[in-house]
Chains A and B, each alone.
Chain A
Amino acid sequence: MLTKRIIPCLDIKDGRTVKGINFKDLRDAGNPVDLAKAYSQEGADELIFLDITASHENRRQLLAKLVREIARGINIPFTVGGGIQSVKDVDILLHAGADKITINSAAVRNPKLIEDLAKNFGSQCVVVAIDAKQIEQDWTVFLSGGRVATDWTLLDWAKEAENCGAGEIMFTSMNHDGTKNGFADQITAAIAKAVSIPIIASGGAGKLEHFKTVLTTGKADAALAASIFHFGEIPIPKLKQYLQEQQIPIRPVY
């Protein structure tokens, strides 16, 4: 049976992981390659790396170098995102060893980019990330790390992204992100119903139960989290064991 995926997300700046990361048995927590290896050994099903380097100088080269090191070190799939603007950017990252890439603002500004990437590399490697905020009843799509509102409503944009050739949608609820009060289960389920590609739910993980509900009620195919994994609040083996006990299809940790 196809299992639900558990995905730690790592923010990368100038080739290093950012935010304080407190990972057991890891002396240099800032090295993304070591962290990636540790997560893959703990049973993470995939990893996502988001490059938040502010300056664009040398960014592409530095990121490609890092992607090569990660690909050399781990034997599970990983996705890379942050600042991707073109087919050329993606070509470099995939040839360095990334399995998928994720685009956000660039896709909204130019939906044809999704089409071009799907045509060149296949839909399976194109993850469209969507940040959205609920304002009264409506869910509005935001760009640039949540700073710029767009005219798109969440479900319309998700459907458009699928039509353009996205292979997966990674949805972050800005209302839930960082709260640790749980994922946005209801709207995640609505996206899952609106499109027929897999959904990665992001934002709000704080307890074991939150993963259960987003993977059942929320109909997500995968659940993503950052700080609760980085700080060891929820170790992945414990999470996977819990989800298995809850009868959710999960790849066990050995």
Chain B
Amino acid sequence: MNITIIDYNAGNTQSVVFALERLGIKPTLSRDKTTIEQADKIIFPGVGEASSTMQFLKELGLDQIIPNLKQPVLGICLGMQLLCKQSEEGNIDCLGIIPQLVKQFPNNGQDKVPHMGWNTLTTKSDHPLFRGINPKDYVYYVHSYYAELGEATIAQTDYILPFSAALQYNNFYATQFHPEKSGDVGSKILKNFIELC
């Protein structure tokens, strides 16, 4: 199976490569249109700021490629947010694949932003991405913006307010947390994406 990680200068690309290698998979790292289109599965990672990253995707022409992919795609963190409709970070239109909005965490005067660290997730029962994942399992989050709850929500977490911890819309899967940094729980989720989605 050919797993391709979209290489667009996101800070954590290497971490995703290593996470897959620990699962015994040798992924391809590419920003080439044909390579991406011909992959069996695609991972769209992300760390950074939304509007400048969106601009970078446009410069590479990837904004035209990603929405038309038919194979399973997994967006991670900023990658997930960019799959959504719009983001308050820089007030931009994102790729518009998942019809949900990305908003900034409100300041409640108590909880810190970014939401940084280990938190649980409540998953939709029997979703293949979360097979073998328990309600008491923790995953690692780092983000100041969140996707609202909606029809595509397959897992939610509560921090300041309930938000989407994971989304699925057709062949597009996405996690707000970082499975590549979430210990054995995260490895299991990546393995599920590769084997079951």
B143: A residues at CB distance < 8 A: 124
Which of B116, B140, B182 counts the most A-chain CB atoms under 10 A from its CB? B116
Say if the beta carbon of B67 comes within 8 Å of chain A.
no
- 13 A-B pairs, CB-CB below 8 angstroms? A2-B115, A3-B118, A4-B117, A72-B21, A75-B19, A75-B184, A76-B182, A77-B140, A94-B12, A97-B18, A121-B47, A124-B47, A252-B136
A51: B residues at CB distance < 8 A: none
CB distance from B82 to the nearest CB of A (A): 14
Could you tell me if B18 and A72 are in contact, using CB atoms closer than 8 angstroms?
Answer: yes
A96 with B19: in contact, given A121-B48, A196-B113 (CB under 8 Å)? no
Say if the beta carbon of A104 comes within 8 Å of chain B.
no
Could you tell me if B19 and A197 are in contact, using CB atoms closer than 8 angstroms?
Answer: no
Report which of A3, A68, A168 forms a contact with B138, defined as CB distance below 8 A: A3
A3: B residues at CB distance < 8 A: 117-119, 138
How far, in angstroms, from A72 to B136 measured CA to CA in the complex? 27
Could you tell me if A71 and B116 are in contact, using CB atoms closer than 8 angstroms?
Answer: no
Could you tell me if A221 and B112 are in contact, using CB atoms closer than 8 angstroms?
Answer: yes
Could you tell me if A71 and B15 are in contact, using CB atoms closer than 8 angstroms?
Answer: yes
Nearest A residue to B110 by beta-carbon distance?
Answer: A196
Say if the beta carbon of A122 comes within 8 Å of chain B.
yes
Report which of A76, A95, A167 forms a contact with B116, defined as CB distance below 8 A: A167
Residues of A within 8 A of B (CB): 1-5, 40, 45, 68, 71-72, 75-77, 94-97, 99, 121-125, 167-168, 196-198, 221-222, 251-252, 254
CB distance from A112 to the nearest CB of B (A): 18
How far, in angstroms, from A4 to B111 measured CA to CA in the complex? 13
A252: B residues at CB distance < 8 A: 136, 138
Nearest A residue to B77 by beta-carbon distance?
Answer: A124
How far, in angstroms, from A196 to B120 measured CA to CA in the complex? 22
Does more than half of chain A's interface fall in helix, strand or loop, or is it mixed? loop
- List 9 extra interface pairs beyond A75-B22, A122-B48, CB under 8 A: A2-B118, A5-B118, A40-B183, A68-B14, A75-B180, A77-B140, A197-B112, A197-B114, A221-B116
B13: A residues at CB distance < 8 A: 95
B4-23 vs A, CB cutoff 8 Å, 1 = contact: the mask equals 00000001111100110110
B184: A residues at CB distance < 8 A: 75, 254
Counting chain B residues whose Cβ lies within 8 A of the other chain, the interface size class is 35 or more
Report which of A1, A71, A75, A97 forms a contact with B119, defined as CB distance below 8 A: A1
Report which of A1, A5, A71, A167 forms a contact with B120, defined as CB distance below 8 A: A1
B49: A residues at CB distance < 8 A: 122
Could you tell me if B159 and A2 are in contact, using CB atoms closer than 8 angstroms?
Answer: yes
How far, in angstroms, from A68 to B144 measured CA to CA in the complex? 27
Could you tell me if A121 and B112 are in contact, using CB atoms closer than 8 angstroms?
Answer: no
Could you tell me if A125 and B22 are in contact, using CB atoms closer than 8 angstroms?
Answer: no
Could you tell me if B113 and A76 are in contact, using CB atoms closer than 8 angstroms?
Answer: no
CB distance from B149 to the nearest CB of A (A): 18
How far, in angstroms, from A94 to B48 measured CA to CA in the complex? 12
CB distance from A133 to the nearest CB of B (A): 26
Could you tell me if A196 and B18 are in contact, using CB atoms closer than 8 angstroms?
Answer: no
How far, in angstroms, from A17 to B18 measured CA to CA in the complex? 22
Report which of A40, A68, A167 forms a contact with B114, defined as CB distance below 8 A: A167
A122: B residues at CB distance < 8 A: 11, 47-49
Nearest B residue to A45 by beta-carbon distance?
Answer: B118
B169-197 vs A, CB cutoff 8 Å, 1 = contact: the mask equals 00000000010111110110000000000
A77 with B181: in contact, given A71-B15, A94-B11, A97-B14 (CB under 8 Å)? yes
How far, in angstroms, from A254 to B14 measured CA to CA in the complex? 27
Q: Which of B17-73 contact A (CB under 8 A)?
A: 18-19, 21-22, 47-49
